[in-house]
Structure 1
Amino acid sequence: MKNLRRLSVFALVTALSGCAGLTSLNSAATPTDLYLLTPKSTFDPSLPRLRQQIVVAEPTATAAVSTDRIAVQPSPFEVEYLPRARWVDRAPLIIQALLIESYENSGRVDAVGRSAIGLSADYIIVTDVREFQARVPDGAPEDSPLQAQVRLNIKIVYTELDRIIASNSFERTVTTASDDTKDVVAAFDQALGSTMRNAVEWSIRKMHEDAQSRPRDF
């Protein structure tokens, strides 16, 4: 796909082409490309070691993002999706898995997992996916490249008191090399990687600081 601004036209043509049975047959015969994203593996070596256990909860997101389809915003009030391309899972589940792996890759967290495995956690990482789409820059010319935008709001919950000890938002926007799907996915990967690195480093420091401030059992 060379021009994402033709997505609306593509959807209209598909809706009007032939009877419903023929459209379904053509759709089933068209292969869908699956895309994945990568965890962050490089972190500040000065990060403190965290002995407490962490659970990364499944992130929340709007219905437009909580899907395996790759979202594109041609304008602030429209949401479309790349044709014949999907993430390997729903976006929130991908982000949850990559955050867990990124914490592990930091080498500074003794135990981290997801709530589904029943891990007894000292801290819970609660994530709200505020932005996770490619968008056309406001006021940009017709042939301008897209921007992959990722914004995560992170809250750290201390489970013993069921209290939020820190909250912060992390955002990165990366311009795509072209409108080709692979270039759009590469921009998503770079934006998410940068956002996760900052979120992981910030949260480790905040949890370590909080743990150090609490009385210890001897």
Structure 2
Amino acid sequence: MSLRKMLRAGVLLLAVAPLGACALANVASEPAPDLYVLTAPSPQAPDGTANAAAQIVVETFSAPAAVDTARIVFQPSPNEIKYYAGARWSDRAPRMIAALAVETLHNTGRFPAAIGSGSSARMDLALTGDIRQFAATRPAREGFGQAGTEVRVMFFARLLRASDRSIVAARAFSASVPSSSGKMVDIVAAYDAALGQVLSELALWTLEEGAKAFPKRAGS
């Protein structure tokens, strides 16, 4: 390399280096967001309900792009989506919900096996569906909760035969829970309660419909 080219390369390196250093400094100075997790409920099946004979895989539910994120959704109106600043879920919402759904099925103590998608195990049923709403909202009616904020969770679930993907049953599930204040911890608590209601109903419905599709053999 000629002396002139070496000098030119050195000048470029000196010009770029401060920019890189500034970018790294900006990244390091950004405050880390607060991370939040939700919990799986432990629904109790009615007395006399038989244990499931079918093994089930829970697939990650589809979701609109605005919900398919780790950011926590605030929907002030039907036509507007915002996110809470400085707060995140520990994972993308659909992945987090799928993991909690598997845990909820386990917590019933009624399924021989319940796993998440990605396993090579042969299963009898697949639980899938759509996340229609997973957001904190401002209801139109006055006086709903101290902060005027409620969390709404809405799924449309499908139970499929794993062998041929035929639909065994389908149903919508929804819940609304008011937040006791505008603090993030109380809004997350409302998310936890609303999702817990939906997952509990979903698990018991899956148990009932799965028993119809795969009745337990006598003596088993």
- For 1:62 and 1:29, how far apart are their aligned partners in 2? 28
What is the correspondence of 1:53-68 to structure 2 with a 5 Å cutoff?
53-68=55-70
- How many residues align structurally? 194
1:193 aligns with 2:187: no
1:27 CA displacement: 8.6
Aligned twin of 1:153: 156
SS of equivalent to 2:215 = helix
Instruction: Return structure 1 stretches of 4+ with deviation > 6 angstroms.
Output: none
Between the aligned partners of 2:205 and 2:42, the Cα distance in structure 1 is 15
Unaligned runs of 5+ in 2: 1-21
Structure 1 residues 64-79: aligned runs within 5 Å: 64-79=66-81
SS at match of 1:120: coil
The 5 A counterparts of 1:166-205 are: 166-205=169-208
CA positional deviation for 1:209: 1.2
Question: Percent of aligned positions with the same letter in both sequences?
Answer: 32
TM-score (norm 1): 0.82
> C-alpha offsets along residues 27-50 of structure 1, whole Å, 9 cap, x if unaligned?
943231000000011322433211
Deviations 1:150-186 (A, max 9, x none): 0111100012332101000110000001111000000
C-alpha separation in 1, matches of 2:104 and 2:208: 15
Deviations 1:120-141 (A, max 9, x none): 1110001211110000112548
1:36·1:88 contact (CA, 8 Å) conserved in 2? yes
| Structure 1: gaps spanning 5 or more residues | 1-20
Please list the CA deviations of residues 8-39 of structure 1 after superposition, one character each: whole Å capped at 9, or x if unmatched: xxxxxxxxxxxxx79x8389432310000000
**Residue deviations 1:47-83 (CA, integer Å, cap 9, x gap):** 3211221000111100010000000011111100000
Over aligned residue pairs, what C-alpha RMSD do you find? 2.4
Distance 1:158 1:171 in 2: 24
Matches within 5 A, 1:1-218: 25=26, 28-46=29-47, 47-138=49-140, 140=142, 144-212=147-215
The AA in structure 2 aligned to 1:127 is G
